[in-house]
Structure 1
Amino acid sequence: MPFSSGKLFALLPTVGTLAAAGGAAALAIQIYRRPVETAVFVSRAALLLAGVREETCDVGNFPIHYYCTGRRGTPIVLIHGIGNSAEIWSSLVLRLSREYLVYAPDLPGFGKTPPAPEGFNIATHVLYLKRFLDSLGYPQVTLVGNSLGGWIATRFAIANPERVNHLYLLNSAGLRREQMNSPYAVDRAAAQLSANHMLGYPRPLPGFILDAIVRVSQMPAYTNFVKGYDIQEELDSVLSQVQVPTTIIWGEQDKIFPITCAYDLHMGIANSELVLLPDVGHLPQLQASAKVAEIISKDHSLWL
C-alpha cells in the first residue's frame, strides 16, 4: 500500500499565500522542520475557520476523532486512505457542507485516533467504522472512500447493505496486489517515485519533503498494515456481493492503482457507474474536489 503524500501536496499551493501575508521566514522554518504537521495544521485551520466542528466520540471506551458539519439529509461519511487523516478531505468537506451533512473521521492509528487494540487490518477498520456509525445514530449513510478507505467502505457495504444508500469509491484499494505499482518509501528515491506515482508530480521534491514521506511511511499504523497486506481480505472474489448503488470515481493518472483497477471494479459491481477524471492522480478529493463534489451532489440531492 502506498504512503499518501497528499497532505504535503495540499500544503504547497497555500505556502505562497501565507508567506505573502507575513511571517515568511517563520513559516518556511516550520514547513522545513515539520512539513506533514504543517500541512495538517493548514487544512485543520481552514475547516475550523469555516465553522466545521471537531469532536471525539467514545465507542466502547475507544475514542474516534472526527470533523462534522453541514445541514440536512442522509449523512455523507468520508473515509481516508493509509498514511492520511481526516484533513485530507478538507476541500471536499467545505464544498459538500454547503448543502449536506458531512462527517470525516480519523481511522484508528491515524490522525488523532489512537491505534485499535485489535491491530491493523481491514476487519478491524470495518468494525470501528460500524461502531462509529452506530454512535452517530443514523439508519443510513452515504459512504465515500479513497484508497484504503474505499476498501474499508466496500467491505462495510457488503456486510451492512441496509446501512449504505450509496457507495463512492475514489481510486480504491482492495484488488489483487499484482495490479499495484507502489514503491515503499524506504529512502528519498523511493519517496520521490511514490509521489510521482500518486500525483504525477513533474518536478523533484525537496529533500526535506522526501524525508517527511519516509518518516510517515514508518508509522506503526502504516508498517503494520503493510506487513499484513498479504493476508488482508481482497475484494476480487466478493465484488458481486456489493448490492448498493455504487459510483467509481477514478483519476486516470494514478500510477499506484492503474486504470485497469477501475474497470475491474466497474465490471465486478453490478449496476455501478464509472467516472474517469483525466489529469487527476490517486487523490481526486484533492486534485478535483469541485468535480467530485458535483458528482456526489448529483445523486445525493435525491435523498434530502
Structure 2
Amino acid sequence: MSTIYKSEAGASEIRRHYQEALHTWPVPAEHVRIPTREGETFVVVSGPEDAPPLLLLHGSGTNTTTWLADIASWARHFRTYAVDVIGEPGLSAPSRPSLVSDAHALWLDDLLDGLGITSASIVGTSLGGWLALDYATRRPERVSRLALLCPGGLGRQKNGWLVGALLLRLFGPGGLRRSARTVTGLDTPEARPVLDSVALTFAHFKPRTERVPLFSGSTLGRLTMPVLVIAGSRDVLFDSAGTARRVRQCMPHARVNLLPEAGHAILGQTDSVLAFLRE
C-alpha cells in the first residue's frame, strides 16, 4: 500500500472516483505516462499539437480535475499538459522529495524532456504555484510565462485554521465537508461537487506535512518572464496581503490581483488567465 493513503481500500476509492472524473474531460485528450527519476508521471494532454505548450500544476490534495472548468477554453489556444503532481492523489508516483532540495526541478526537467518540450508557460495553483516558481527561478530559460493562483512561497503560511479543521474531521463526513469549506473558502450550492470531492480525498489521503518554503527576495528578483499572481483575501492557508506585498516589492514587473471575497480555492479565473497567457 502506498504511504500517501490511509488504506488500500481508500486508495482504490480515490482512484475510482478520479477515473470517473477523467471520463468527463470536456475536450479530446491523450493520457500519457512519462518515466522520471521520481517515478512515473501521469499527464492529460489536450489541444492542437502545433499550439504553444502550457503546463498545468495543481495543488496539494488534488489532481488534474482541478482544471476541468478551464481546459476547454485553454486547449483551444494551447497544447495543454495537465500534470498529476507526484506524491498527490492522482495517478503519478507517490514520491515526495523534500521541498528544500532541487528534486522537484529535476523531476520537471525529466517531465519536460519526456514530453519533448523545450520551454512552456506554466499555470500553477497553491503547491503547484510554488513548484512553478521554484522551477522558474532555477530554469528561467524553460519558462515563458507564469500564472499563479493562491501560490505558496510568497506570503506567510498560516496555521490557525488547522486546529479547527482537525476537530471538525472528528465528526465524520459532515465534519469533513465543513473542513473542506474552511480550507477552500467555498460555500455555495455550485461548489458542492468540489467540496464533496475534497472531503472524499481527505477521508483517505495523507496530506503533506512539510511547510512550503518561502522564496527570498533575491531569488524572486531573478524572474524576468511575465508573471500574473491571483490570490484571495480570505485565504486561510497563506497570507495573501503578504503575497501581494512581496510580489510588488520583489517582482515589480509582475501583476497581482487580490480578490476580496475569495478564499484559498480560486474559481472563475479562466478568461483572465487566458488573456494573460495570450498577450
Common topology (TM > 0.5): yes
Instruction: Please name the residue that 1:75 is paired with.
Output: 53
* Aligned match of 2:124: 145
Per the alignment, residue 9 of structure 1 pairs with none
Q: Work out which of the residue numbers 98, 123, 130 in structure 1 matches 2:76.
A: 98
Instruction: Note the C-alpha offset of 1:139.
Output: 2.0
State the SS of the aligned residue for 2:52. Answer: strand
User: Which residue, out of 216, 237, 241, partners 1:256?
Assistant: 237
Give the 3 Å change call, closer, same or farther, for CA 261–202 of structure 1 in structure 2. farther
Q: Aligned pair 1:298/2:275, yes or no?
A: yes
Contact 1:167 1:244 in 2 (8 A): yes
Q: Residues 97 and 104 of structure 2 are in contact (CA less than 8 Å); yes or no, is this contact kept in structure 1?
A: no
- For residues 23-62 of structure 1, the aligned pairs below 5 Å read 40-47=18-25, 50-60=27-37, 62=39
Q: Is 1:87–2:65 an aligned residue pair?
A: yes
Q: What's the CA shift for 1:102?
A: 0.6
Aligned-residue offset at 1:81: 0.7
Matched residue type, 1:199: G
Q: State the secondary structure of the residue aligned to 1:263.
A: helix
**Matched position secondary structure for 2:253:** coil
Q: Could you say which residue in structure 1 is the equivalent of 2:251?
A: 269
| Residues 97/211 of structure 1: CA separation in 2 closer, same or farther (3 Å cut) | closer
Cα distance between partner residues in 1 of 2:273 and 2:186:
25
CA RMSD of aligned residues (A): 3.2
Aligned counterparts of 2:28 and 2:198: Cα–Cα separation in 1? 33
Measure the CA separation in 1 of the matches of 2:64 and 2:134. 20
Give the direction of change, closer, same or farther, for the CA distance of 1:80–1:103 in structure 2 (3 Å limit).
same
The CA deviation at 1:40 is: 2.9
Structure 1 counterpart of 2:129, one-letter code: G
Cα distance change of structure 1 residues 240 and 215 upon mapping to structure 2, 3 Å threshold: same
Alignment map for 1:184-195 (pairs within 5 Å): 185-186=165-166, 187-188=169-170, 191=176, 192-195=178-181
Secondary structure of residue in 2 paired with 1:166: strand
* 168-177 or 151-160, larger mean C-alpha shift: 168-177
Q: What is the number of equivalent residue pairs in this alignment? A: 253
What is the distance in 1 between the residues matched to 2:157 and 2:261? 24
Following the alignment from structure 1 to structure 2, what is the Cα–Cα distance between the partners of residues 199 and 87?
18
Query: What is the rounded CA distance, in whole Å, between the counterparts of 2:30 and 2:68 in structure 1?
Result: 12
Q: Show CA shifts across 1:11-31 (max 9, x none).
A: xxxxxxxxxxxxxxxxxxxxx
Compute the TM-score of the two structures, normalised by the length of structure 1: 0.71
Quote the residue 1:235 is aligned against: 215
Distance change (3 Å), C-alpha of 1:74 and 1:200: same
- Runs of at least 5 residues in structure 1 that lack an aligned partner in the other structure: 1-32
Superposition deviation, residue 262 in structure 1 = 3.3
Partner Cα separation in structure 1 for residue 198 and residue 186 of structure 2: 15
Distance 1:264 1:180 in 2: 20
SS of aligned partner of 1:73: coil
Rate the CA distance shift 1:55–1:295 in 2: closer, same or farther, 3 A.
Answer: same
Deviation at 1:210, TM superposition (A): 8.3
In the alignment, structure 1 residue 107 sits paired with structure 2 residue 72: no
Structure 1 or 2: more helix by fraction: 1
Scaled by the length of structure 2, what TM-score is found? 0.77
Q: Secondary structure at the match of 1:76?
A: strand
